[in-house]
Amino acid sequence: MAAHLKLGRFGGVLLLGVAAAAAPAPKPRALPPLVFVSRHPLPPGLPQGVPGLGPAYRAIVTGGRLMVRTARGQVRPLLARAPFFDVSDPCVSWDGRRIVFAATFSPDSGWRIFAVGADGRGLAAVTRSDRALDLASLGDDAARFSRYDDLDPCWLPDGRVCFASTRYPQVAERGGGPVTNLFVVDPDGGNLKRITSERNGAEEPTVDPASGRIVYTRWWFNRYLPSELAASGITTDSSRAVPSERVDLWQAVSIHPDGDRTQLAGGNPRVRPETMAYQPLVMADGTLVGVGAERGSLLPPVGPLSIVAFRGGFGEPVHWAGGARGGSACSPAALGDGRVVFAYDPHDPKGSGDYGLYLLEPGASRPARLVDLPGTLELDPAPLVPRRRPPVIPPTMPDLPHALPVADERQLRDSINTFRFDCLNVFANAPLNAPIPDAPPLGQGLRIRFYATLSRPGSTAGDTVVLLREAPVDRDGAVHETELPADAPMFEQRRAARPTCPASTRGASGPAPSASGATSGTRSSRSRAAPSRVRDSTPRPRPRSWPRAWPRATPDPGRWSTAAPWGPWSGWRGWPDPPGTRRSGWHGDRPLKSTPS
């Protein structure tokens, strides 16, 4: 009996050892089906870049198909008999039943928005070549704007579609290409409206899953520099400008679906290049993910691309893939559980390689390959599953007033479509250790100049500048100005007490505060004939345990923004209106209404 027990004991030990040795590794989490595009590379001879990315290649036509990777890993076309020559940017509806995407029928036709069922049935046009816009006032320049492209569609929580388009005819300050702005439209193509007035570009919209706000990327650049030598206080000649850091990059901002309340969506404002986030994505925990590049303008040659994350929205960047980590990466998409799918070429040092789709697990040292078809670039992945619908933000703003960009100075001074500018304290600082630069030091005799630009599509940079007025900064740091022109690109310049010294030139391109004494930038007053808005600069709490911190009053270099015209620096993502804030309707020919916050 003893020997039997002993044998049993050894047998038990042996069986336990075998069981431990044979224990299976943790089973990897299942992947949802993915919809993506498979596109041909850029034609030979073009500078390096990626089809669909940046101002030079956003609308390039190379040829491509809409594809699906099933949950079992099988890859197939979504449309059996697709009528399209090229496709891009699929986005899945909140219920997982419909896909909206951009497509073009031939190499020389414009891009339009289409929708189709998740099963590949029910293909329908969302936008069409039916723009009713009289370009005669543009004279000889009308022909260059006859073509327009609709790109980057995304579903809004209320079922409408937001997309980027060159329908609003402008020329960018750099590169000479057309300017994108954001539009919203019903799924059947009705009720088309423009919601931004960005000077250089607004594209790649997505939706913040927590707030329902649209998050997009805008080209932050201003060619007008502060100058002590020019009587106007600004110059485009760098040799006559006050030394200052220039900014030329795509940063992420957010707005309401009606275009109100433009705010910086994230980044590291203390280091301006670290506010770049092209193709922005907001994770469920509030982390902002975007694409960074060595050349922030994304004009070719672009160089290697990287996936960058900002935990909680604001802070120092964390590089997830590409760039300094090797290779080139773009097109991030969240799976909803902390995992991210993106386009990646681990061996590409230049940013124009053979991209495939890869999966990045939280804490993983390297991404895992999912799809990499021979001879094509796999881009723009999106999970083909239902998602929680974000909150619907009711519209409160009227439509933008101008069918064409403002080209006549009389429109800037007609007192019809105007907004009120209120900044309650340009000297207010953020809490200690907040990721926001310091405000300017207290001072007396400061003044602010307001500039606006007029559209000149036939010129190299597409505009000229007009000095609208100069206003004093109150001793308590407040600035209150009425009847400024709505829906026109604007920027501000803070001037020191010495009459010939511009302290800085700042644009309301959105909130990226400046730490330097002399900078330059612009605000594209998104204002739709914009509402008056009072902006409080006092510290206040922010959701997700962030302190409220208004940026310093120093204008920032190179900022264009479609920010709603309420205070010079547009605010910061996630902060509620301060006590005493009041929003008003249009001035002039519209009824005026004020509502305390």
Phi and psi at residue 6, to the nearest 5° = -65, -45
| Dist. CA 401–CA 528, nearest whole Å | 6
* Comma-separated ranges of CATH 2.120.10 domains in the chain: 34-194+285-335+337-383
pLDDT values of the chain reduced to their tens digit, one per residue, 597 residues: 444 433 343 344 333 343 334 445 456 689 999 999 999 999 999 998 999 999 999 999 999 999 999 999 999 999 988 899 999 999 999 999 999 999 999 999 999 999 999 999 999 999 999 888 888 888 888 888 999 999 999 999 999 999 999 999 999 999 999 999 999 999 999 999 999 999 999 999 999 999 999 999 999 999 999 999 998 999 999 999 998 888 999 999 999 999 999 999 999 998 999 999 999 999 999 999 999 999 999 999 988 999 999 999 999 999 999 987 789 999 999 999 999 999 999 987 766 679 999 999 988 888 999 999 999 999 999 999 999 999 999 999 889 999 999 999 999 998 888 888 888 888 888 777 777 777 888 878 899 999 999 999 888 899 999 999 999 999 889 999 999 998 999 999 988 866 545 555 554 333 333 222 222 333 444 433 333 333 333 333 333 332 233 333 333 333 322 232 222 232 222 223 333 333 333 333 332 232 222
Distance (Å, whole) CA 436 – CA 549:
7
Q: What is the DSSP letter of 10?
A: H
Query: Are 156 and 257 within 8 A, CB to CB?
Result: yes
CA distance 185 to 191: 5
Query: What pLDDT shows up at residue 305?
Result: 95
Q: Which three-class secondary structure state does DSSP give residue 330?
A: strand
Structure tokens at 537: 């600069």
Pairing of strands 418-423, 377-383: unpaired
Cα–Cα dist 179/165, whole Å:
8
- The CATH number fitting domain 34-194+285-335+337-383, selected from 2.120.10, 2.60.120, 2.60.98, 2.160.20: 2.120.10
CA distance 68 to 78: 6
CA distance 347 to 320: 16
Check if the beta carbon of residue 390 is closer than 8 Å to that of residue 162: no
For the chain, helix, strand, coil in percent to 5 are: 10, 35, 60
The secondary structure element, H or E, covering residue 293 is strand 288-293
Q: Tell me, what amino acid is at 244?
A: S
The predicted pLDDT at position 382 comes to 98
* Tokens found for residue 135: 């370009």
Distance CA 212, CA 89 (A): 20
What pLDDT does 504 receive? 55
Parallel, antiparallel or unpaired: strands 98-104 and 533-535: unpaired
524/508 Cα distance (integer angstroms) = 7
What does the block give as tokens for 381?
A: 């992945």
Q: What are phi and psi of 19, to 5 degrees?
A: -65, -40
Report d(CA 25, CA 570) in Å as an integer.
51
pTM, two decimals, is 0.82
* DSSP reduced 3-state for 55: helix
Residues 6+ apart with CB under 8 A from 247: 220, 221, 272, 273, 296, 512, 521, 556, 557, 558, 559
| Predicted pLDDT at 513 | 30
224: three-class secondary structure by DSSP = coil
Which residues have CB under 8 Å from 151's CB, separation 6+?
Answer: 52, 58, 59, 88, 89, 102, 111, 163, 164, 165, 180, 203
H or E stretch including 378?
A: strand 377-383
CA distance 359 to 344: 9
Contact of 526 with 574, CB cutoff 8 Å: no
> Is 461 in contact with 199 (CB distance < 8 Å)?
no
CA 309/CA 69 separation, integer angstroms: 26
Whether the upstream peptide bond of residue 301 has omega within 30° of 0, thus cis, is yes
End-to-end CA distance of the chain: 86
Please tell me whether residue 466 adopts helix, strand or coil conformation: strand
Report yes or no: 567 and 522 within 8 Å, Cβ to Cβ. no
* SS3 of 522-536: CEEECCCCCCCEEEC
Q: Let me know: does 518 contact 227? Beta carbons within 8 Å.
A: no
| Spatial separation of the C-alpha atoms in residues 555 and 508, rounded to whole Å | 8
Contact of 522 with 512, CB cutoff 8 Å: no
Beta bridge partners of 114: 101, 125
Q: Quickly tell me which residue has 């929580």 as its tokens.
A: 157
Do residues 332 and 319 lie in contact, with contact meaning Cβ atoms separated by under 8 Å? no
Handedness of CA 573, 575, 479, 242 (dihedral sign): negative
Distances from the Cα of 201 to the Cα of 114, 196, 242, angstroms: 22, 9, 26
Query: Which pLDDT does position 453 carry in this prediction?
Result: 94
State the pLDDT at residue 24: 52
pLDDT tens, position by position, 333-349: 999 999 999 999 998 77
Triad 428, 432, 433: Cα angle to 5°: 125
Give Cα separations from 250 to 7, 171, 201, 301, 565 (angstroms): 73, 17, 9, 16, 20
Amino acid at 585: G
Q: What is the DSSP letter of 138?
A: G
The pLDDT, as a whole number, for residue 351 is: 64
